[in-house]
Amino acid sequence: MQYEQAYHFLISKLEHELPAYLTYHNFQHTKDMLPVAEQLCKMENVTGDVKELLLTAVLLHDAGFIRSYKDHEEQSCEIARETLPAFDYNKEEIDTICALIIATKSPLNPTTLLQKIICDADLHYLGTSHYFANANKLYNEYKHHGLASDRNDWHKRQIEFLEKHKYFTRSAINEFGSLKKKNLQLLTTKRKSLKKHESKLLGTVGDWILIVLGALTASYGLKAFLVPNGFFDGGVSGVALLLNKIFQLDLSLLIILINLPIIILSYFGTGKSFALKTIVAIILLGVFLHFIDFGDECV
């Protein structure tokens, strides 16, 4: 078994043949995973040829992306069977490597120590300070393949994944478990903040839609019902209707002018937001009164 020669061949193959759209499952992911696998091997007392079998599986576990995004693990095994005999790996060793590669396929269910180590090494980033950067790379990759819709959905799926995920070796639990919990808390807080922002935005949009509809409805009531029938409303509208009737002044202009003092008072009494929405509503009412013909007598 010539691990060093296989390492140089496979590293070069990954660097030059993996597709450019792989923003997460790329050459760098495998390079980052190798020292973690070595660290876990050391902590779990895995040495010698057994360790080299594991590291070979790490080198090959994402090689299948060269050929296919779907079921890439099976393609990785095919590449292992095609390339490793040239580096003096026998059939039994290649079978072990393929079993390790398949163990990284979701849902994870490793049974041997080596399978547990490779699964923990593959997802070690969940419990590191690089979690959010890697999760963003994975989101972009999934979006490229139509596997992710938007950030809110992605955050929800990531929270569910982190809640269900577990490290299998005691070493990985001790090394990455604590920070993984913190990352989950940060992600949950981030999603709540995003949902709150979206809810506020939707509420604001809803307010403006209602303002437009309210102004349109009020203008219809004035032009199509009150004015043609000589009826008078109460409050500011009633005063505007009365002045319009007596002096034949433009009703749309009267509505705006008479409401101005009330808008100024609302600015100091209830705040900028309410005053802004009020003045927009009044201006819209005036515009609708002036320009829209509802089919009845216009003023």
- Total number of domains constituting the chain: 2
Q: What is the pLDDT of residues 133-169, one digit of tens each?
A: 999 999 999 999 888 888 888 888 999 999 999 999 9
Q: Which residues constitute the domain of residue 72? A: 1-122
Q: Quick one: 110 and 226 in the same domain?
A: no
| 170 inside domain | no
Domain membership of residue 63 (yes or no) is yes
Boundary of a domain, candidates 66, 99, 122:
122
Q: Which of 106, 122, 138 is the last residue of a domain?
A: 122
Closest CA to 63 of 99, 93, 30, 96: 30
Q: What residues of the chain score a pLDDT lower than 50?
A: 296-299
Same domain assignment for residues 101 and 4: yes
* Statement to judge: residues 100 and 207 lie in one domain: no
Give the domain-ending residue among 61, 95, 122: 122
Type and span of the H or E element at 245? helix 235-247
Model pLDDT, residue 216: 85
| Tokens standing for residue 272 | 């900028």
99 with 6, same domain: the answer is: yes
Give a yes or no: residue 171 inside a domain: no
Give the pLDDT confidence of 166-181 residue by residue, as tens digits: 999 999 999 999 999 9
What burial letters (b/e) apply to 3-34, b meaning 16+ CB within 10 Å? beebbebbeebbeeebeeebbbbbbbbbeebe
Are 106 and 12 part of one and the same domain?
yes
- 218 and 106 belong to one structural domain: no
164 domain residue, yes or no: no
The pLDDT of residue 233 is 66
pTM of the complete model: 0.68
